[in-house]
Chains A and B, each alone.
Chain A
Amino acid sequence: MKKKKIIGIIGEQAGGKGAVSNIIRKRYGGTRLTTSDILRRTLDSLYIPSSRENLINLALILKKGFENKILMYAMLRDVENTNDDLIIVDGIRMPGDVEPFKEEYGKDFHLIYITADAKLRYERSLKRGEKAGESDASFDDFTKNGKKETEKHIPKIGKTAEFIIENNDSEEELEEKVFKIMEKI
């Protein structure tokens, strides 16, 4: 089997992480893994709604109750068990998240940072209603979420990424930027 290529995606809320994953998968295939999936399935089994707040809280209490790297190690194992040579890891957020992947995959791990204007991201989040309660949030709530423990380090880590995409334009322009990056990878 070919060696695995791992693409790590980091970015603020509603910045375009999902969109980038979709663009990559449409042309190149691959499997997308997210920490949200692990958290969401756990909340589902507990009959707790998957609001962004509950997702963030669950992540924090699991890290506190067990160890800081618990979600990333779980992701690493999921990556190992996934039978695909292109894997997109969506949900890198905290200091220390990137290291396990770099250690394990070295040059085959590529980090892409997707960012956009805060107001633009807020508007997009209202439209899509991906997480419970998202379409009702105020800009204030949205900004508050961005300051939470699991979100506030993203810009800093993003700056160290191999590739940075500013997603303030159209979908077509986003696609072009993604394809340019994929050619390099």
Chain B
Amino acid sequence: MNKIIIGLTGKMASGKGEIASYLQTHHNATTYQFSTILRDILDRLHKDISRSSMQNLSTTLRQNFGENILASVIAEDVKKNENNIIVVDGIRRMADVKYLTDIEGFKLTAVMANDKIRFERLVARNQNTGDDKKTFEKFLEDEKKEADREIPIVIKKANTKITNNDSLKKLHKQIEDLIK
């Protein structure tokens, strides 16, 4: 089977993590996130792995080694990895896509879900402090912030779209179709 690299993009709580997790469990996929390398470095420095440390490290590295340092690192890691299925989760900027597009087998996949459904999932999982107290308005506002602003543009560029408004079973079927 040829190597497939699935690049996941999508708004908050659309289901990217669920897809990455499914592929890991059922197909032994290797998953990469931009935060992985940040976590490794912070770990080696024995620093706390908090959102603010990661943000700080990301900014520090980008300022000194170029805006695209993390994207180019993931691209190198992906090229070296000999696994058949690789997932790159959390693509947010077109600049990041540029490095991955040239790799053979790369499929940019957008994960879509209704705003209301995503909001409910976010509140239910309460992953980051304060998520359970967010209002729907604040939720929509947060998506317009710097880090997530380009996501709609990346979504438009995707070759494949997965819609995740229903059951897990329906989601899993779409994932299986994706990697055929």
Contacts and interface: CB of A to CB of B under 8 A. Distances in A.
Given A65-B56, A66-B56, A46 B47 contact: no
Nearest to B56: A65
B69 interface: yes
B72 interface: yes
Contacts, number: 45
> Number of contact residues on A: which range applies?
10 to 19
A45 B36 CA distance: 11
B73 A46 contact: yes
Interface in B36-63: 37, 40-41, 44-47, 53, 56-57, 59-61, 63
A165 interface: no
Contacts of A48: 65
A61 interface: yes
Contacts of B64: 57, 61
A41 B44 contact: yes
A42 B65 contact: no
A62 B37 contact: no
A74 B57 contact: no
Nearest to B59: A65
Dominant secondary structure at the A interface = helix
B76 A42 contact: no
Nearest to B41: A42
Dominant secondary structure at the B interface = helix
B56 A45 contact: no
Contacts of A71: 45
A127 interface: no
A77 interface: yes
Nearest to A37: B44
A39 to B, nearest CB: 10
A46 B61 CA distance: 10
A89 B114 CA distance: 56
A77 B46 contact: yes
A57 B66 CA distance: 14
10 contacts: A42-B41, A47-B72, A61-B61, A62-B45, A65-B56, A65-B60, A66-B53, A66-B56, A70-B45, A73-B46
Interface of A: 38, 41-42, 45-48, 57, 61-62, 64-66, 70-71, 73-74, 77-78
